[in-house]
Amino acid sequence: MFGSLNGSAKQVLFACENAVSLAPDNDAAEYRDSRGLAKALTGDTAGAIDDFQAYLKSESSAEQKARRQRWIDALRSGQNPFTPKELESLKNE
């Protein structure tokens, strides 16, 4: 996620792909969340939505679920939820 948040989504996407493919099922959701961000920032909207939906299935925090759902809804409507403000907020987590 850090690479994506620092302007290198395209360069780190391969690492995200590898992390997801190598992760056990119970750990894959967290990696899919990071990959979803990289995909969204590189224009793979459908892939990002798919990854964020997978993340939602395992996340227990209502706040994090609501955030990802907002991202999904925005991506589905053709909007970019990853404004500079949103990216800065993610960096500060």
> How many domains is the chain built from?
1
pLDDT of residue 93: 85
Q: How confident is the model at residue 54 (pLDDT cuts 50, 70, 90)?
A: very high
pTM of the model: 0.91
Q: Has residue 42 got a pLDDT over 90? A: yes
Domain that holds residue 15: 2-91
Q: Has residue 25 got a pLDDT over 80? A: no
pLDDT of residue 29: 86
Complete DSSP assignment for the chain: -HHHHTT-HHHHHHHHHHHHHHS-HHHHHHHHHHHHHHHHHTT-HHHHHHHHHHHHHH---HHHHHHHHHHHHHHHTT-----HHHHHHHHT-
pLDDT of residue 81: 97
pLDDT of residue 27: 72
Q: Has residue 26 got a pLDDT over 80? A: no
> What CATH number is given to the structural domain containing 28?
1.25.40
